[in-house]
Structure 1
Amino acid sequence: MSGMRPVFAELPPVRPGDRVAVVSPSYAAPADFPAVHERGLAVLRGLGLVPVEYPTTRRHSGPAQRAADLMAAFADDSVRAVLATIGGDDQLTVLPHLDPAVIRPKPFAGYSDNTNLLNWLWNLGVPALHGGSTMVHLGRAGGPHPDSLASLRAALFRTGDVVLRPAAVFAEEDTDWAAADPRPAPVVAHPGWSWHQPSRVVTGPVWGGNLEILHWNLAAGRWIRPAADYAGCVLLLETSEETPSAAEVYRMLRNAGERGLLGRFPAVLVGLARACRLFARPPAQERAAYRADQRAAVLRAFGEYAPDAMIVFDVDVGHTDPQWVLPYGGLVTVDGPARRVTAHW
């Protein structure tokens, strides 16, 4: 992989009436929870879009078959965007089957295990959308959160700058997707964002995503660019419902630091850490302690490898609800003195 940051293409806006692909590049959750999938499709139709499914959208399939559907969606000029249904845990095995030659620049929306594909597209100079998987936030019981839906709409239709703000309340517990009458997840008070060294204004392309998946990419050694290629970028980090310990978070960041990566990012956005594993409901005090320990682990790693970095904690991105969609490869401004984060669409 070359030692030069890619030149990012301009993404065309999606318009009402456009066809959009809905794919399952990781776990084919629509095969197991069709009602949730249908709720997400209904939200897309409510935005005036026409969802297009592929053979593996609702079928558990191997990496080569999932890659073939992705390539078909990107190669079809009548399909104006590609949205992942959900994440998973094996998308890394899909990447070798992808053909860069057929890629047409168009929005791809996903997060979690889709960090693999976001990063793969970043390496081609194709910006994408971190967030917006259809089954989690669009197919959400009770309907999508207004902030999540407005954020995805701005990203797809490219309606201009979006200033992010902390949610008043948030949800992190699972709802029962198999229930006949699913109830919305309970909400709790948001801790608010916290800023570390907010002394400057940084505008740069976003890179990063789910920390565990980035660590797998580092371990595979195939998809991470030379450290210098990330200079001046805004780093996005967030952890999953597998709730890695503070020690694990520190070690993963330490490995990135030893590779020379952490020192390249003048600004870092850290997502509000989900403190509930699948259907686990620890008490509020335990959840707060988990998040505090993770913040301390992040500060320790950056203190050792990038002491000048500006860091914003508990941003509503990734595995939390509501979820702000961020331009991945597109520009974000982190304004420390104003305590403001702006996504530029």
Structure 2
Amino acid sequence: MTDLIHPPKPRPGDRVAVLSPAAGLPEVLPLPHELGLRRLTEQYGLVPVEYPTTRKLGASPEARAADLHAAFADPGIAAVVATIGGDDQITLLPHLDDALLRAHPKPFFGFSDNTNLLMRLWNLGVVGYHGASVMTQFGRPGAVHPVTDASVRAALFTPGPYELPRPTETNDVERPWEDPRTFDSAPVMEPAGDWRWHRADRVAEGRSWGGCLEVLAQLLMAGGEIAPPEAYEGGVLFLETSELLPTADEVFRVLRAMGERGLLGRFGAVLVGRARAWSFDAPHDAPARAAYREAQRTAVLRALDAYAPGAVVVLDVDLGHTDPQVVIPYGGTVRVDGPARRITVTY
């Protein structure tokens, strides 16, 4: 494993690259993008810098890689923030200049399809940040959620440990981004259940790895980004699912494949995000959302009991495709303290 690099953090007043290495959705959905840019400037004191493909839907992998290289190589850029996720970032990976990325490390923020880039940076020994995209967290209707805001500020500006909070409210029901009225008020929240702990009689601490399960499934099939199982020994695995709403059986099969590959048993702890249970294509009511989440929890525990019986497991952590969202360092140290019921990340 390469030596670990913690990229220098930006400071208020610094320029940050705003890129679309997955999908250039700002071209067709400008409202949350523009709002997110304003908040980066007004609330966080940063200067967003867009690139040729930031607002270009359907840009080629080569063009998106060129923008990424330009942002990382520019000494005047202090961090790189993804606008949103997408579907085909895996096609970007063959065009990346690994030597350039490692020689000019920058904090990279993104999640969902950006799991591809985060994993490549992990393989290069560069710590990234799973979370905090422009259109979703910074461009949230009404206001950035206070829980998200505190985590983002810590990840952006503050080194050292950060104890993850337990939000009291949650939401995954969206309103159309095409409608300006969507951004006049914050989403309607509902009570959030507490984290669910399993085998919480121990403490595990290690380097984090994981991301969006649907993207991990693609990377497992492609194979190139997945290291030998021993590279993950003693690490902390974190997983979450997207608005694609995979079935419980699909989630189990991906985890089973990871287990058969010898990956799951290497991790000392596993964090599982609060499952997204609503989409415009599947607008579930509250009972259906609760049933979907419970079926996914059962599937996850079934796989982990079989393949990672020694790991501490925490379900319903507010990471990934959820609101509020906490940022998880990708490759940073995560401490999962079962007896104290605490999760501490190092940004």
**TM range, smaller chain:** over 0.9
Partner of 1:165: 165
| Residue 68 in structure 1 maps to residue 72 in structure 2 | no
Q: 1:9 aligns with which of 5, 23, 40?
A: 5
Partner of 1:190: 192
* Structure 2: distance between partners of 1:259 and 1:44: 41
* Structure 2: distance between partners of 1:246 and 1:290: 8
Partner of 1:151: 151
Partner of 2:331: 329
1:159 offset after TM fit, Å?
Answer: 4.5
Q: Deviations over 1:170-200 (max 9, x none)?
A: 1101121110211432211112110000111
1:10 offset after TM fit, Å?
Answer: 2.3
Partner of 1:126: 126
* Structure 2: distance between partners of 1:6 and 1:232: 16
Q: Is the 8 A contact 2:170 2:192 kept in 1?
A: yes
* Structure 1: distance between partners of 2:160 and 2:119: 24
* Structure 2: distance between partners of 1:131 and 1:6: 24
Partner of 1:218: 220
Q: 2:56 aligns with which of 31, 51, 59?
A: 59
* Structure 2: distance between partners of 1:306 and 1:35: 43
* Structure 2: distance between partners of 1:48 and 1:130: 21
1:221 offset after TM fit, Å?
Answer: 1.1
Partner of 1:116: 116
* Structure 2: distance between partners of 1:295 and 1:303: 12
Partner of 1:48: 45
1:36 offset after TM fit, Å?
Answer: 1.2
Partner of 2:98: 100
Q: Is the 8 A contact 2:203 2:312 kept in 1?
A: no
1:287 offset after TM fit, Å?
Answer: 1.0
1:158 offset after TM fit, Å?
Answer: 2.0
* Structure 2: distance between partners of 1:228 and 1:14: 33
* Structure 2: distance between partners of 1:218 and 1:279: 27
Letter in 2 for 1:81: A
| Residue 314 in structure 1 maps to residue 316 in structure 2 | yes
Partner of 1:18: 14
1:7 offset after TM fit, Å?
Answer: 1.8
1:295 offset after TM fit, Å?
Answer: 0.8
Query: Identity percentage over the alignment?
Result: 55
Q: Deviations over 1:320-343 (max 9, x none)?
A: 000000111011110000000011
What TM-score results when the alignment is normalised by the length of structure 2? 0.96
| Residue 229 in structure 1 maps to residue 226 in structure 2 | no
**Structure 2: segments with no counterpart, 5+ residues:** none
* Structure 1: distance between partners of 2:144 and 2:89: 26
* Structure 1: distance between partners of 2:77 and 2:175: 32
Q: Is the 8 A contact 1:173 1:280 kept in 2?
A: no
| Residue 31 in structure 1 maps to residue 27 in structure 2 | yes
What TM-score results when the alignment is normalised by the length of structure 1? 0.97
Partner of 1:299: 301
1:279 offset after TM fit, Å?
Answer: 5.7
1:9 offset after TM fit, Å?
Answer: 0.7
* Structure 1: distance between partners of 2:221 and 2:332: 26
* Structure 1: distance between partners of 2:186 and 2:148: 15
Aligned-partner SS, 2:284? coil
Letter in 2 for 1:96: P
Partner of 1:176: 176
For the aligned residue pairs, the C-alpha RMSD in angstroms reads 1.0
Q: How many residues align?
A: 341
1:152 offset after TM fit, Å?
Answer: 1.0
Q: Quick check: 163-172 or 333-342, which moved more?
A: 163-172
